[in-house]
Structure 1
Amino acid sequence: MASIRHKALELVQSRTRVPVVPPANKISDYYGTSCFGLEQMKESLAPSVFKKVSQAIETGGKIDASTADEVAAAVKTWAISKGCTHYTHWFQPLTGSTAEKHDSFFDAHAGIEKFKGTALVQQEPDASSFPNGGIRSTFEARGYTAWDPTSPIFIFDSTLCIPTVFVSFTGEALDFKTPLLKALDAVDKAATEVIKNNFDRNVKRVTASLGIEQEYFVIDRALYAARPDLVMGGRTVFGHNPARGQQLEDHYFGSIPSRVKDFMKEFEVECLKLGIPVSTRHNEVAPGQFEVAPLFEEINKATDHNLLLMDVMDKVAEKHNLKVLFHEKPFSGLNGSGKHNNWSLITDTGVNLFQPSSSAKENLQFLTFFVCTIKAVHDYADLLRASIASAGNDFRLGANEAPPAIISTFIGSTLSAVLDELEKNGNVKVEKGDNMYMKLGISKIPEIILDNTDRNRTSPFAFTGNKFEFRAVGSHANSAGPMTALNLIVADVLQEFNKAVNAEVKKGTERKLAIVNVLRKYIKDSKNIRFEGDGYSEEWEKEAAKRGLSNRKNTPDALDIYTDKRILELFDKHKVLNHIEVEARHEIMLENYILKVQIESRVMGDLALNHIIPTAVAYQNKLIENANGLKGLGLDAKSVIETIQEISKHIDQIKVNVDAMVAARRKLNLEQDSVKRAKGYFKDVKDKYFEKIRYSVDKLELLVDDEYWPLVKYREMLFLK
């Protein structure tokens, strides 16, 4: 095994840079050339047909058969001109990644390329072979993918890709996109109603926008291949921290390594062709860690683009003999990777509802959406926590540079003072007109237009000037999951806000004051969720407990919320997911957690018993020979004997703990209840044995001769590029 490590290291030393030549000097010359969106449709479709398509996209209406045929013909011509021979419905099953089944344009019987509207609009993949939470049995295979025209069709890897939803034969959603679209519709309706009733009757639509900052690690592909734990589970289950990690803080925003920069340039070119507006690249905190960030887009498109971005990165990295690691915590003791979701609401008149204004009236609108969002986070914190729960993210939450498992909001000292003042002014007699705004303190909000709120990297949900940043989302996650939850809960609170204001108005309260009265109540009710301090501290855990905030540190506990009657009713009320669909997702997420922990446990056992212990024993035998030789010469062998004893102690500990872990796993596999099985895998497998086994293995790494050690070390993976 040691020879594999050394061969991998030799390969790294022999690497050369892969030159990257953009297709044009100006990005604007090739941006979007691999996608077929509204602009391309406008150029290739008859005006009457384009009008039908654009209206259907805007209103969410259906596209009739004849229109679909026209679009299909135009798409086929465009795709073939770009060298495509196949097409696929590109969808997002509950595996967490994307899926596709390729079909040829060529009809061998007819001898021509064919692509009808029916093939564009619908396909029939197997619904039983994807996670479905018991909705479909193995013998009940039928499911459907249906075209989502709100997300651009694109060409990837010489295949025409059509973004679609994925539902079962019986109509239940089996993907991430379907509930997201429904949640976006819910927040659009609720937000538009609030604005029309209280602020601006000209607003017809509110769009949720999203910018996703993607963090990731990059290591050499040969080093990756020499680490079975990375290949099988995406993270290193063993590995002693190097002498130099991130403590010097010299990697963050530092000079990007040459090979990594070439990789970045190429994947950016490919992304820009696909219409993904990548904008920022930089080194992140940990050595070997980086970040890419695009400009804001409508949420459905942004989540599609993020999944596509990850796929592009993976394929381009292969060309550069690199491997991208999207796991939330691939290296213990170092900064974890997240997917920071920057979220805001924007009207069709171009107003960002989270942007403070120079107008007191507009600031009342800003406060309405600002306070309602905080109230939503307060009322449904457990749902937000569940939406970002995964086996990988459990390693990250609360660790280096990551938000804790306690959901809270950070809004900065200035806005905190504004809300506190607004809450205190409840008994102040105010007059109508601008004087009312002045006495309420709302007229002072223009002072905060500049970014005077400091950043809080420990907050899972922070206001950053004109948007909220949901920082707790894991780097490997599909953002559609947490974004479905966020938009759903905000829609619910906005709807309730509208009812509360209207009830006050019916009692004779002037509408502006009615709005303020409801906001005051919301500010008071949600005060416990606001936290400005260090989210990493033990003091915050104690303080959060006093405030009644939950701290669900592991995924099985976090997922319990999906069985809560209030949450089931919430999804059902807004027609985002029915009870069957929520319960199925709960089952799928539990099973996913079990399997992820099970895989890691198996990898740990395999590496420990088949690689680490034999290596340690072989080195121990060398030391025994040395000790005997020293004794034969009449020399002191005390230090050598102590090392032998220490190695022996760790070997014994590894064997005992691995055997006990395997026994616990076998016992749990007999448990039929998935909740009990998942919680058992956390408590009796992961929590009980992972760190114990790792401790002994990592100690052996320091004791065994470097030439013997079979696993590529942290210092090699992180620093050799």
Structure 2
Amino acid sequence: TLGIEQEYFLIDEAFFHARPDLALTGRTLFGHEAAKGQQLEDHYFGSIPGRIRKFMDAFETEAWKLGIPVRTRHNEVAPNQFELASQYEEANLANDHNQLLMFLMQKTAADFKLKVLFHEKPFAGVNGSGKHNNWSLATDTGRNLLSPGKNPKSNLLFLTFFINTIKAFHEHADLLRASIASASNDHRLGANEAPPAIMSVFIGSYLEQLLNDFSSKVGSNKFTPEQKSDLKLNIIKIPPILIDNTDRNRTSPFAFTGNKFEFRSVGSSDNCAAAMIALNTAVAGQLRNFRREVEKYLNKGYEKDEAFYILLKETYKSCRKRVFNGNGYSQEWIKEAASRGLANIANTPDALKAYVSPGSLKLFSDNKILSERELEARYEIKLEKYFKKVQIEARMAGDLALNHIIPVALKYQQMLINNVKGMKEIFPEKDFQKNAKMQIALIEELAERIASIRNDVYAMTEARKKANALCSAHEKAHAYCNEVLPYLTAIRYQTDKIELIVDDEEWTLPKYREILHVY
């Protein structure tokens, strides 16, 4: 089953059309942070603005007409950021409904002169948007297999699916990282509003202690009657509602939240199908492996409960290093993860390699989900999509820099020069040097920043040409990631500094303080 939390931004459509970068890339390539962002959390804890509420009422009504069970709406952390959640459904249906809902939201927004932004990081300096996938396993009668039970037997069933899910996530963590990789999600992962690129599992302190106790009590041989009783009476006790008061599940890519796992790394613009195919196949493969191992123990004369206890202990021990209940945002976790041997795959071209790794090919082939050719096709398509998105951003950044930013900066620089000339005419030399000091410094600063932008734009263009001349999608994606993308950061830095200098009336692009604080 799957319940999706869809985050998004809403901005006035006039601002959207006045920002070519938003219109063509989905995000602002330039823009200095506003003085007021999300630091007061007043948007998050405030009421939904009236115009936005009317939009929500309209698209929710249309969604219900189409059978989409939208359920929750609220403000999110960043200004002009919101979230909706639908009732959980069978995963295929939930994903189809989400795709239809995204289209419906965009269509309805036009009636209110609004624009929906699904990009994972449309604005720098404030939180980005995700699409949290609340995933569980259920029987065809609706029984949730990841919900703790009321007796040892039902809790053994819960632990079986719970531990095997963690094991599946551990064994195929790189594949799951690949399933949520994209050019836009790279801007979000690892920031302080999204899980890091390190794939870890949060289970909470109570369950971690329970599993550690369970592992220490279970041996590798047949059990005595006393051992069985001890396990059933003292270990396999799980409360129906699990509450962890550290709230660290928010920093985890894959968090257990009581009766489901929340895959928080999925990007807001993503189709959830890729992540769900990877996760479902990984869990299915692990459950098949677990069953084969159980049958081996049964053939050796072990009772079913004994076989389950022993195998669950061994399974958890083999994937325990993937469990982390601390702060996933911290630098300490990055160091600790490295010491545990967990990968930290920071960019999409590197992450996508997992689609064609031997382990992934075997997993999908053994479970008859995707063939080697189908996986290679997905790998190539995702690489091509990545470098083309970065290519568009680079071309857009160059266009804006040369046709908007530099002309405005030169115009303001000329205004300063004229001001300095006028001051020189009316002030004595001694007073002139003192009074014109600030203007001259600004003229020099603008000259340096303009030159830096111009040089970086031309260098970026040459880097693009070299990348475009490469043969394979793999080579192009890595070239755009390593050689082109850094120029975007460098150009943005200089541009955002110029924005703070130039007269506001001369600046041609709507600023963050306008876009993010007008409903």
TM-score interval w.r.t. the shorter chain?
A: over 0.9
Indicate the residue corresponding to 1:661 in structure 2.
Answer: 460
1:593 maps to 2:389: no
1:305 maps to 2:97: yes
Indicate the residue corresponding to 2:190 in structure 1.
Answer: 398
Matches within 5 A, 1:140-289: 209-289=1-81
Q: Deviations over 1:5-39 (max 9, x none)?
A: xxxxxxxxxxxxxxxxxxxxxxxxxxxxxxxxxxx
Structure 2 counterpart of 1:640, one-letter code: Q
Indicate the residue corresponding to 1:448 in structure 2.
Answer: 239
Matches within 5 A, 1:506-545: 506-545=299-338
Indicate the residue corresponding to 1:554 in structure 2.
Answer: 347
- How far has the Cα of 1:422 moved from its partner? 1.1
Q: Distance in 2 between matches of 1:254 and 1:298?
A: 33
- How far has the Cα of 1:404 moved from its partner? 0.5
TM-score (norm 2): 0.96
Q: Distance in 2 between matches of 1:229 and 1:637?
A: 36
Q: After the TM superposition, which parts of structure 1 deviate over 3 Å for at least 4 consecutive aligned residues?
A: 427-433, 435-438, 441-447
Indicate the residue corresponding to 1:704 in structure 2.
Answer: 502
Q: Deviations over 1:281-328 (max 9, x none)?
A: 000000010000011100010000000000000000000000000000
- How far has the Cα of 1:400 moved from its partner? 2.9
Indicate the residue corresponding to 2:120 in structure 1.
Answer: 328
Match of 2:469 among 633, 645, 670: 670
Q: CA RMSD in A?
A: 1.4
1:356 maps to 2:148: yes
Indicate the residue corresponding to 1:604 in structure 2.
Answer: 397
1:345 maps to 2:148: no
Q: Deviations over 1:112-162 (max 9, x none)?
A: xxxxxxxxxxxxxxxxxxxxxxxxxxxxxxxxxxxxxxxxxxxxxxxxxxx
| Contact 1:422–1:441 under 8 Å retained in 2 | no
Structure 1 residues 416 and 441: CA distance shift in structure 2, 3 A: farther
Q: Secondary structure at the match of 2:298?
A: helix
Q: Secondary structure at the match of 1:719?
A: coil
- How far has the Cα of 1:448 moved from its partner? 2.5
Q: Deviations over 1:153-187 (max 9, x none)?
A: xxxxxxxxxxxxxxxxxxxxxxxxxxxxxxxxxxx
- How far has the Cα of 1:450 moved from its partner? 1.8
| Contact 1:421–1:441 under 8 Å retained in 2 | no
| Contact 1:430–1:439 under 8 Å retained in 2 | no
| Contact 1:252–1:283 under 8 Å retained in 2 | yes
Indicate the residue corresponding to 2:276 in structure 1.
Answer: 483
Q: Distance in 1 between matches of 2:332 and 2:233?
A: 33
Indicate the residue corresponding to 2:83 in structure 1.
Answer: 291
Q: Distance in 2 between matches of 1:210 and 1:442?
A: 33
TM-score (norm 1): 0.70
| Contact 1:453–1:465 under 8 Å retained in 2 | no
Structure 1 residues 428 and 495: CA distance shift in structure 2, 3 A: closer
| Contact 2:156–2:236 under 8 Å retained in 1 | no
- How far has the Cα of 1:510 moved from its partner? 1.2
- How far has the Cα of 1:241 moved from its partner? 0.3
Q: Distance in 1 between matches of 2:237 and 2:68?
A: 34
Match of 1:571 among 357, 364, 380: 364
Q: Deviations over 1:83-122 (max 9, x none)?
A: xxxxxxxxxxxxxxxxxxxxxxxxxxxxxxxxxxxxxxxx
1:691 maps to 2:489: yes
Indicate the residue corresponding to 1:614 in structure 2.
Answer: 407
Structure 1 residues 437 and 281: CA distance shift in structure 2, 3 A: farther
Q: Distance in 2 between matches of 1:389 and 1:504?
A: 40
Match of 1:637 among 436, 441, 453: 436
Q: Which has the higher contact order (CA 8 A, sep 6+)?
A: 2
| Contact 2:29–2:492 under 8 Å retained in 1 | yes
| Contact 1:364–1:442 under 8 Å retained in 2 | no
- How far has the Cα of 1:440 moved from its partner? 2.3
Q: Secondary structure at the match of 1:214?
A: strand
Structure 1 residues 241 and 438: CA distance shift in structure 2, 3 A: farther
Q: Distance in 2 between matches of 1:437 and 1:657?
A: 70
- How far has the Cα of 1:445 moved from its partner? 4.8
| Contact 2:27–2:121 under 8 Å retained in 1 | yes
- How far has the Cα of 1:251 moved from its partner? 1.2
- How far has the Cα of 1:453 moved from its partner? 2.7
Flag structure 2 segments of 5+ consecutive residues without an equivalent.
none
Q: Distance in 1 between matches of 2:380 and 2:233?
A: 47
Q: Secondary structure at the match of 2:137?
A: strand
Q: Distance in 1 between matches of 2:234 and 2:137?
A: 22
Q: Distance in 2 between matches of 1:504 and 1:431?
A: 13
Structure 2 counterpart of 1:646, one-letter code: E
Q: Distance in 1 between matches of 2:445 and 2:81?
A: 35
Q: Distance in 2 between matches of 1:579 and 1:625?
A: 67
- How far has the Cα of 1:358 moved from its partner? 1.0
Q: Secondary structure at the match of 1:345?
A: coil
Flag structure 1 segments of 5+ consecutive residues without an equivalent.
1-208
| Contact 2:32–2:512 under 8 Å retained in 1 | yes
Indicate the residue corresponding to 1:464 in structure 2.
Answer: 257
Q: Deviations over 1:518-562 (max 9, x none)?
A: 111111100110001111111111111111111111000001112
Q: Deviations over 1:416-451 (max 9, x none)?
A: 001111111133988577x65552267555442123
| Contact 1:438–1:444 under 8 Å retained in 2 | no
1:716 maps to 2:514: yes
- How far has the Cα of 1:350 moved from its partner? 3.0
Structure 2 counterpart of 1:439, one-letter code: D
Q: Distance in 2 between matches of 1:583 and 1:501?
A: 34
Q: Distance in 2 between matches of 1:245 and 1:466?
A: 35
Structure 2 counterpart of 1:450, one-letter code: I
| Contact 2:220–2:310 under 8 Å retained in 1 | no
Structure 2 counterpart of 1:551, one-letter code: N
Indicate the residue corresponding to 1:500 in structure 2.
Answer: 293
Greater strand share, structure number:
1
Structure 1 counterpart of 2:210, one-letter code: V
Q: Secondary structure at the match of 2:455?
A: helix
Q: Distance in 1 between matches of 2:277 and 2:445?
A: 52
- How far has the Cα of 1:565 moved from its partner? 1.7
| Contact 1:458–1:534 under 8 Å retained in 2 | yes
